Amino acid sequence: MSELKRGGARKISNTDEPRRLPRTGAWLLYLLPLPMLIGSLIALFKDGKASVALGAGVAFAVVMLAATLIRKGSEIESQALKRKIVRRASTVPYKLLGIATLGVGIFIGALLGSGESLLMSLLLGGVASLGGLLVYGLDPARTAPDAPAIGVTSEEVLEILNEADNKIQAIEAARARIHNVELKDRLRNIITGVREIMGIVEEDPRDLRRARKFLRTYLDGAQRVTEGYADSHKYGQESSELESNFRNVLTTIETVIGEQKQKLLENNLTELDVQIEVLQLQLEKEGV
């Protein structure tokens, strides 16, 4: 398949290894300013140095803000790296702001809280920012291709994939409440099939046009019917007729998933739309 420019989304080669984020995240930064808080309380209540207490208190608040910004930036990057789709660069460079804020906080703490000289305080603030840069890095430079060759942006692709992932998690949660082994196994295979379809779209976002209805409308119906059947067990309302209807729906779901994957590979859209419409009607009529 030839490589086309994609409207805000492109495929990342499987050989590209995403940079691993530090395991510590930014939680260590929440521990860093604790001595400032303690020093502020000591300066205020024991030594009676209100100005020193104020300086240490401000430094504590600023470093806590830096930790929050860096943590948010790291979480955004981590979420983006879970997908092979490249997202547009965030309009807010959270990690960069956090690293700069960290340096400011340490500078204030050294100058006003510890009474260091201006030069030493600047040096300590710079070292803190450099350390934050080395540990957490900058926000990834992510640019979106300019030509909307597939008619969607990376944000739209990621939004639909994330919505589908949430629906799969809901189906998995409902599956855990079903005791029939056969039905649990069939649901597991359905979940696997849906993830394979998501993988096809992730590998080539151009396929989103053909999979959009499946990942939104149809998968939403599959979630509702599975949760409804699981709830019937919870409230003791299960019956042979209900189980038979659910089996019929699962059979149709399995068929549509197989055809969805095949049609995506064949780039055939019309026949697949007809199959999905048939399934929607069945979901409405089975009463599951």
pLDDT (0 to 100) of residue 35: 73
* Among the listed residues 55, 85, 54, the one whose alpha carbon sits nearest the alpha carbon of residue 207: 85
List pLDDT tens digits, range 132-174: 899 888 877 654 443 344 566 777 787 888 899 999 999 999 9
Report residue 245 as tokens: 């209807």
Confidence of residue 57 (pLDDT cuts 50, 70, 90): confident
CB–CB of 77/139 below 8 Å? Answer: yes
CB–CB of 7/153 below 8 Å? Answer: yes
pTM surpassing 0.85? no
What would the mean pLDDT of 5-10 be, rounded to a whole number?
A: 40
Greater pLDDT, 268 or 157:
157
Secondary structure letter of residue 216 according to DSSP: I
3-state secondary structure of 10: coil
Residue 19 pLDDT greater than 50, yes or no = no
CB–CB of 224/232 below 8 Å? Answer: no
pLDDT (0 to 100) of residue 73: 85
Residue 8 pLDDT greater than 70, yes or no = no
Averaged confidence pLDDT in the chain:
75
List pLDDT tens digits, range 71-130: 888 887 776 666 666 555 456 788 899 999 999 988 988 888 777 899 998 998 999 999
CB–CB of 265/196 below 8 Å? Answer: no
CB–CB of 129/114 below 8 Å? Answer: no
pLDDT (0 to 100) of residue 168: 94
What would the mean pLDDT of 267-272 be, rounded to a whole number?
A: 51
* 85, β-bridge pairs: 11
List pLDDT tens digits, range 227-264: 988 888 765 555 677 888 888 889 988 988 888 888 88
List pLDDT tens digits, range 26-42: 677 777 777 776 766 67
Which sequence spans correspond to the domains of the chain?
Answer: 27-136, 154-286
CA atoms 62, 68, 72, 77: torsion sign: positive
CB–CB of 257/197 below 8 Å? Answer: yes
CB–CB of 235/226 below 8 Å? Answer: no
Confidence of residue 190 (pLDDT cuts 50, 70, 90): very high
pLDDT (0 to 100) of residue 284: 61
Distance CA 288, CA 285 (A): 8
